Amino acid sequence: MDNISDERCEHRRIAQVPARGGRSESVDVAMEDLSLHILDIVENSLRAHARTVEIRLIHDRQEDFLTLEITDDGEGMDEAELKRATDPFFSTKEGKRTGLGLAFLAQAAEEAEGDLKVESRKGGGTKVIASFRMGHIDRKPLGDLEETVKCLKATHPEVDFRYEFRHEREEQ
C-alpha cells in the first residue's frame, strides 16, 4: 500500500511534542487545514484495509456548524483501542509511539467549539465525527477538499471513495 504522506510534504511542519519522562520529541505534523486532517484519518482507514471510505461534510447554516464524518469498512477497533484512539501516545502502527491524527483532529474541533466522536467495532469499521463552529475564529480553513479526494482516488484506485459536501437549513 502506498503512503499518501509524500503528496502533502510541502504542507508539513515540525513540532515539539511533550513525550513521556519530561522530554520532548520532534514530530512531523500537518494540521493547517481540515483537508489534511482528512488525509490523516483516511490513512488510518487504509491501514485498516478499508475497501470503502465515505467522507461527508455537512454545513448546518442555521446552527453555524460544520460536521465532518469519515466512515470506513475497515477492521475497526476493539474497546481498548477505541478508548485510547485520541491519546497522542497510542498507536497501533508497528514501530510508532505516537498516533497524532485523531488527537490533532480532536484539538482542532475543540478549538472551534466543537467535538470529536469515534465509533468503532472490531470487524465492523470505524466512523469519525468531528464538529466545528463554522464562524469560529479558530476554525481551521477547509483546504482544497476536492483535490484531497482526487489525490486519494488517484493513489488508491482499489478503494471506493465517496465524497459529499452539503449545506443544510438556510438561514431564515
Q: Domain 4-157's class? A: alpha beta
pLDDT (mean) for 9-20 = 40
pLDDT of residue 27 exceeding 70, the answer is no
For 115-151, give the DSSP string: -EEEEE-TTS-EEEEEEEETT-TTPPP---HHHHHHH
- The DSSP element (H or E) to which 79 belongs, if any, is helix 79-84
Query: What's the rounded Cα separation, in Å, for the pair 1 and 104?
Result: 24
pLDDT-derived band of residue 134, with 50, 70 and 90 as boundaries? very high
Q: How far apart are alpha carbons 14 and 86 in whole angstroms?
A: 20
Burial of 161 (0-12, 13-18, 19+ CB in 10 A): middle
Predicted confidence at residue 3, as pLDDT, reads 43
pTM of the model: 0.77
SS3 27: strand
* In the chain, % of residues over pLDDT 90: 57
Where residue 1 falls among pLDDT bands split at 50, 70, 90?
A: very low
Amino acid at 167: H
The half-sphere exposure of 48 on its side-chain side, counting CA atoms within 13 A, is 28
Asked whether residue 172 carries a pLDDT value surpassing 70, the answer given is no
Residue appearing with cell numbers 447554516:
61
